[in-house]
Copies of this chain bind each other. A is one copy, B any other.
Amino acid sequence: MLNVALGQIETIPGRPDLNTENMLTMIQQARSMGAEIIVFPEMVVPGYFLGDLWEQPSFLKDCEEFGQLIIANSLDICIMFGNVAVDWNKHNDDGRVRKYNAFFTAYKGKLLGNDNFPYPFRIKTLHPNYREFDDTRHFCSLRKLATELNVTIETLLQPVNIDLLSGSLSVGCILCEDGWSDDYFVKPIATIHKNYPVDLFINISSSPYTLGKNNKRNRVFSKQARETKVPLIYVNTTGIQNNGKTVYTFDGSSTVYNHDGEIINYCEPFCSEIKLIQLDCKSKTTFYPPVCPPNDQSISSIYQALHYGIDRFTKSVGIKKVVIGISGGIDSALAAALYVKILGAENVLLVNMPSIYNSQTTKDLAHKLAQNLGCLYTIIPIQEAVNYTIEQITTSPITNLATSDTFHLSVSSFVAENIQARDRSSRILAGVAAAFGGVFTCNANKTELSVGYSTLYGDQAGFFAALADLWKHQVYELAAYMNSNIFTREVIPQETIDIVPSAELSFEQAIDEGKGDPLIYPYHDYLLRSFMEYWNKATPEDILQWYINETLEEKLGCSPGIVNKIFATPLDFVEDLEKWWRLYTGMAIAKRIQAPPILAISRRAYGFDHREAQNGPYFTANYLRLKNQLLSVNSPYVP
């Protein structure tokens, strides 16, 4: 019988000192629980998303030094953990010192595993190189090592043998992506299992939360255990890590699969905890009935990730107080509700900043929201300052110093709209936040970020864009969920959910007249999602083809019939498509470059996860042909 402790610890990126201290505490707990083995996540000593910190040799030495403290602590307990491993005598392809993303097994004060491997640790075979992952930039994979040593991958993929008091154990030690081998031609688990006897697979991971990912992992990993008839322990980290522009939560959700692929235990998501389990790897006996982990494709999972992400991010940057500009609309209301829940009402200052364009309706809703939340509230009107700015811009004479001619500028209504937005954020909120001893939030959602429907240094500004990976329909869903499930009362006023969404920057956007945003969210949310989140990204060519084939709504996942309800003619459809595509690939990219850090929730978040160049809009040759064919039905066109 084997007693294994799952060390689902919170990794603090870039802090080997603190991580080691926390690990030593948890190791002591494991010891007192009677564990023979404790398993920690991938890269638990240094953290995983560190940018180019891996290029600092002194940091690498530091990770080695703290790793030694862990190893020295393994006299009476086997400690399995992830760390960077450095071979100071070799170099990577970039010429810098050789680094591995490594799985260490320490027991009796020594590292195990070099009886059948060139190093006393195991290294990652499959390096993810999509979304936010950057493993290939810094680490040498087992695949590359095999080529370099001129041996087969099979030779290197051998289990680690541990002589425990309870008997010998042959462990297939794998790291994160090694368990997600479907698309790779190397299959680490199948390869180890085929060639060597294995009692137990252990997958140590540093796997960020993504809506729906755990459901998929449970399918994939259950299958691996079932097919190999070997139990599998998955230990993932908690905490948050970031790549600058994109902030990821790590939910842990460490899980134990028995040899039938059944889930027999798991750790709670977003919770640092140690869990002891008993396994009889030899007899393939299950001591536990199968259990059902939480479904993570749900609004409650989104709420949990958001709550955790905001909580940890504010703590990590030392923020205790926030200022939120509230308009009476849905995005700022949801942000206010979330921050109040996390930081406490007394640390959240809501500021309503009306101009002549703001309706009494939304001003009242802003006040009502603040009242419902019981937080700090103030009203700072912007009209006088906006008028003064426009006056300064239009009355300051501009001199051409080559000719001595002078002239004046004029301010269009579009220019005046952006002046209002910047006045609110850069003049009022930034100043109020600094005086309040805090920061101000960016309440942008993913739909407006996609098309740049926001003002740079205006409503796009802020210290953190916590809602920027939620489509507008998810913002509504979450607002309703917070009222019903979190506050269990109407905190976000129902009217805020019901009114037409509007920026209220001109009389053209008067909400009491039903005028609002140019985005028709029940369609554009899904259109933009297909450009951005689809595994094979859609472009106008695909969209038009689907429109022509009458499969568009099905392909996008929006309501049947909606497309023809919105667009009277194919020309209307095409003009709308091109308009948003131009914005999505044009001005919106320029704005996203200067956007605040974004909290990732979906399968694809803006920033480091979805890399983009500011190259301007493009329409493929086939799009132009399809368009011409389609529109020539009405107005004949000769290609």
How distant is the Cα of A384 from the Cα of B384 in the complex, in angstroms? 12
How distant is the Cα of A294 from the Cα of B474 in the complex, in angstroms? 57
For A616, the chain B residues whose CB sits under 8 A away are 14, 316-317
Is A117 interfacial (CB 8 A cutoff)? Answer: no
B59 touches A129 (CB 8 A): no
Nearest Cβ in chain B — how far from A352, in angstroms?
A: 11
Which chain A residues (156-201) contact chain B, with CB distance < 8 Å?
182-185
Q: Kindly report which residue of chain B lies nearest to residue A143, judged by CB atoms.
A: B147
Encode A553-575 as 1/0 by CB contact (under 8 A) with B: 00000000000000000000000
How distant is the Cα of A97 from the Cα of B92 in the complex, in angstroms? 27
- Count of chain A residues near B, Cβ 8 A: 128
How distant is the Cα of A49 from the Cα of B612 in the complex, in angstroms? 9
A58 in contact with B542 given A13-B615, A52-B610, A590-B463 (CB within 8 Å): yes
For A430, the chain B residues whose CB sits under 8 A away are 418-419, 422, 456-457
For A94, the chain B residues whose CB sits under 8 A away are 128-130, 183
Is A602 interfacial (CB 8 A cutoff)? Answer: no
Is A330 interfacial (CB 8 A cutoff)? Answer: no
How distant is the Cα of A148 from the Cα of B185 in the complex, in angstroms? 7
Is A15 interfacial (CB 8 A cutoff)? Answer: yes
Encode A48-81 as 1/0 by CB contact (under 8 A) with B: 0111110111110110011000000000000000
Nearest Cβ in chain B — how far from A248, in angstroms?
A: 10
B435 touches A242 (CB 8 A): no
Nearest Cβ in chain B — how far from A392, in angstroms?
A: 5
Nearest Cβ in chain B — how far from A433, in angstroms?
A: 9
Is A595 interfacial (CB 8 A cutoff)? Answer: yes
Is A426 interfacial (CB 8 A cutoff)? Answer: yes
A590 touches B317 (CB 8 A): yes
Which chain A residues (288-319) contact chain B, with CB distance < 8 Å?
316-317
B400 touches A134 (CB 8 A): no
A56 in contact with B129 given A401-B376, A594-B596 (CB within 8 Å): no
Q: Kindly report which residue of chain B lies nearest to residue A12, judged by CB atoms.
A: B615
A371 touches B595 (CB 8 A): no
Is A491 interfacial (CB 8 A cutoff)? Answer: no
Candidate in A52, A61, A418, A425 with the most chain B CB atoms within 10 angstroms:
A52
For A412, the chain B residues whose CB sits under 8 A away are 435
Encode A235-278 as 1/0 by CB contact (under 8 A) with B: 00000011111000000000000000000000000000000000
Is A370 interfacial (CB 8 A cutoff)? Answer: yes
Is A47 interfacial (CB 8 A cutoff)? Answer: yes
How distant is the Cα of A92 from the Cα of B127 in the complex, in angstroms? 13
For A364, the chain B residues whose CB sits under 8 A away are none
A137 touches B147 (CB 8 A): no
Nearest Cβ in chain B — how far from A626, in angstroms?
A: 10
For A349, the chain B residues whose CB sits under 8 A away are 398
Candidate in A316, A389, A390 with the most chain B CB atoms within 10 angstroms:
A389
Candidate in A402, A434, A436 with the most chain B CB atoms within 10 angstroms:
A434
Q: Which of B394, B456, B613 contacts A53 (CB 8 A)?
A: B613
Nearest Cβ in chain B — how far from A412, in angstroms?
A: 8
For A65, the chain B residues whose CB sits under 8 A away are 621-622
Is A114 interfacial (CB 8 A cutoff)? Answer: no
Which one of A32-40, A503-511, A517-525, A533-541 is at the interface?
A: A533-541
B388 touches A613 (CB 8 A): no
B346 touches A393 (CB 8 A): no
Encode A359-395 as 1/0 by CB contact (under 8 A) with B: 0000000000011011111111000110011101110
Is A118 interfacial (CB 8 A cutoff)? Answer: no
A378 touches B399 (CB 8 A): yes
Is A492 interfacial (CB 8 A cutoff)? Answer: no
A136 in contact with B143 given A242-B613, A425-B457, A620-B61 (CB within 8 Å): no
How distant is the Cα of A422 from the Cα of B385 in the complex, in angstroms? 14
Is A151 interfacial (CB 8 A cutoff)? Answer: no
How distant is the Cα of A256 from the Cα of B18 in the complex, in angstroms? 55
Is A514 interfacial (CB 8 A cutoff)? Answer: no
Which chain A residues (26-44) contact chain B, with CB distance < 8 Å?
none
B377 touches A401 (CB 8 A): yes
A244 touches B380 (CB 8 A): no
A183 touches B91 (CB 8 A): yes
A432 in contact with B399 given A129-B94, A621-B62 (CB within 8 Å): no
How distant is the Cα of A92 from the Cα of B126 in the complex, in angstroms? 13
Is A24 interfacial (CB 8 A cutoff)? Answer: no
A244 touches B594 (CB 8 A): no
| Other contacts beyond A52-B537, A55-B535, A136-B136: 11, CB < 8 A | A14-B613, A56-B537, A56-B539, A58-B542, A148-B185, A243-B613, A385-B427, A393-B431, A415-B431, A418-B431, A426-B427
* 4 tightest Cβ-Cβ pairs between the two chains A and B: A426-B426, A374-B402, A95-B183, A51-B612
- Give chain A's interface residues, CB within 8 Å of chain B: 13-15, 17, 47, 49-53, 55-59, 61-62, 65-66, 91-97, 126, 128-130, 134, 136-137, 143, 147-148, 182-185, 241-245, 316-317, 345-346, 349, 370-371, 373-380, 384-385, 388-390, 392-394, 396-402, 409-412, 414-415, 418-419, 422-423, 425-428, 430-432, 434-436, 456-458, 461, 463, 535-539, 541-542, 589-590, 592-597, 608, 610-616, 618, 620-623
Interface CB pairs A-B, < 8 A, 11: A58-B622, A375-B400, A375-B401, A377-B399, A385-B385, A388-B388, A390-B431, A418-B430, A419-B427, A425-B457, A593-B597
